[in-house]
Each structure stands twice: as structure tokens, then as C-alpha cells.
Amino acid sequence: MKIKKEILVLTLIGVLAGFFIVRVLDVQNPQLGISSMLSPQSLDQYFEGRSLAKIEQYVNRAKELEERRDSLLEEIRALEEVIDQHEEKAAERIHKGEQIREELQQSRMMANLLDVEGPGIEIILDDRKRDSILDNDPGMLGYYIVHDSDLLEVINELRAAGAEAIAINGVRIIETSRISCGGPTINVGKEQRFVPPFVIHAIGDPEALASYFQREDSIYQTLMYWGLRFEIKKKDLIQIPRYIGDVEYKYAKPIGEGE
């Protein structure tokens, strides 16, 4: 009985000692690569460990930029108020001034220059989850992931269903937004790249927007067939930011507005 207890303690100490030898050696001299001898994959884990410090750097940089953006937006709102007052004053003096202001506001709406809100839907689109079908069928991988053309189809169907404003991952979609493939990322708008999942917001009649995807020829049916994630949620209130980006015409000129 006594011997057994001794053996038990010894075993435990042995196991712990082995465990800690690896941990200590690993922490003190990572270049020794003790753990990489034990598991071949852990070498790149070591590099990832170093990237943790980088992540913190990135997080800080992103926070900085976000604060900057917020202060720029505040400045913009203040300037917009000043412009609004000037417009009001000008409109009072001009013939049909109020009508011009109304037209201006409506054009801004159409030009995607305003933050908007209203009822609508939220779509979450993602690659198929890893499962046995996907693993056994690597040649068909292309069918199981979200492509730029899929996003293009979804946006087009939302427009057909009467969407009044659309955003992908918070980026307002305008008429010249291109959606293209950049390897594992998808470019939306100018140079903005996104990785799945994609969150698409659309303002419009929630019922009409959601039911459009139930049509037989909808991209929804195709993507569901291949087991991608395609969730549609109706929402009472969706907010979509204005288009942020330079709209500059180098080639196109408006043809004389015939008063």
C-alpha cells in the first residue's frame, strides 16, 4: 500500500516536471525550438506568438484612426450646418427658392450623400462551414465560397426588389461601386477589401426585399444549394452611412442645364 502511494507521487512529479521542462525551455530560448521538435506545426505558432504584439499595434492604430474619423465627421456636420443656413438664406431671396432646396435635398439622397435610416433587411453571407462534404471534395471548393459575382447578384436583386440604400460591411454601394475579387478578399467600392462574412444592409420594404430571394431564379437558391451561409433578417430600423469617397469627374461633363 505504501509503495503504491510512492509510485503515484513519483509519476505525478515526473509528468509535471516533463511538462514544465518544455514550457521553461520554450519561454527562455524560443529559438531552441524545443516544442517544434515535439510538434512540427508549432514553429509557425511561434511566429504567430510574435504577431500578437503586432496585433496590439494594429488595434491601437485602428483606434487612433477611428478617433480621427469621428472628429472629421464632427467637423463635417458643423460645416453642413453652416452650409444649411446659407442655403436657407439664399432660398429666401431666389425665385422658387424653397423648391430648389427641396430638389437639392432629394438629389443628395439620390447621390448617396446622406446618412439614411429606415426599415429593411440584414443579410449575412459566408463561406460554407468546414465539414465532411467540403473535406472530401476539394476540387469543388470554388462552389462553397462567396465570390465577387455572388455579391454582385445579391446587390442586383436587392435593387430589383426596391432597395433604396445598400451597404456591404458598412460601405455604401453607389452606381460606380465595383465588386471584384482580390484573392481571398473581395474589393467593394474603390480599394476597400473585405474578407467574409459579408454583412449586407438594405433599406426598403422588408417583406418585399426578403421575399425576392425566395424566387426560383434567385442567387439565394444557388448559394443555399451549395450550403453557404445566407441569413436574411427583417429589421424595423437599419442605418446606412453616406458614401465616403471622392466623386470626381475627370472625363464626364454635365451637358448645359437648360435652366
Partner 1 sequence: MKKPNAGQLALTLVSLILGLMLAAQFKNVQRVGGNVSRQRTQELIEQINKLEQDNAALQNQIKEYESIISSYENASEDETLINELTKTKSIAGLLPMEGPGVVVTVDNLYINTWDGEKQTFQNVHYDDLLRLINELNAAGAEAIAINNERIISTTEIRNAGDYIVINTNRHSVPFEIKAIGNPENLEAALKLLGGVVENLSQILDIKIKTESNITIPGYEGPINYKYAQPIQDKKS
Q: Looking only at residues 235 through 254 of this chain, which bind partner 1 when binding is defined by CB under 8 A?
A: 239-240, 244-247, 249-254
Residue 133 beta carbon to partner 1: minimum distance, rounded to whole angstroms = 21
- Residue 89 binds partner 1, judged by CB under 8 A: yes
164 secondary structure, DSSP code = S
- Residue 129 binds partner 1, judged by CB under 8 A: no
Query: What residues are paired with 229 via a beta bridge?
Result: 126
- Residue 53 binds partner 1, judged by CB under 8 A: no
Stretch of residues binding partner 1 (CB under 8 A), selected from 57-65, 125-133, 134-142, 222-230: 57-65
Residue 54 beta carbon to partner 1: minimum distance, rounded to whole angstroms = 7
For residues 228 and 207, the answer to whether their CB atoms sit within 8 Å is: no
Q: Nearer to partner 1 by C-beta: 36 or 226?
A: 36
Measured distance CA(171)–CA(155) in Å, rounded: 13
In residues, how long is the chain? 259
Stretch of residues binding partner 1 (CB under 8 A), selected from 125-133, 136-144, 177-185, 227-235: 177-185
Site residue total, partner 1 (CB under 8 A) = 120
143 secondary structure, DSSP code = G
Stretch of residues binding partner 1 (CB under 8 A), selected from 60-68, 122-130, 138-146, 224-232: 60-68
Q: How far is C-alpha 46 from the chain's CA centre?
A: 29
- Residue 222 binds partner 1, judged by CB under 8 A: no
- Nearest CA to 228 out of 124, 145, 154, 155 is that of 145
Q: How far is C-alpha 38 from the chain's CA centre?
A: 38
Measured distance CA(149)–CA(166) in Å, rounded: 17
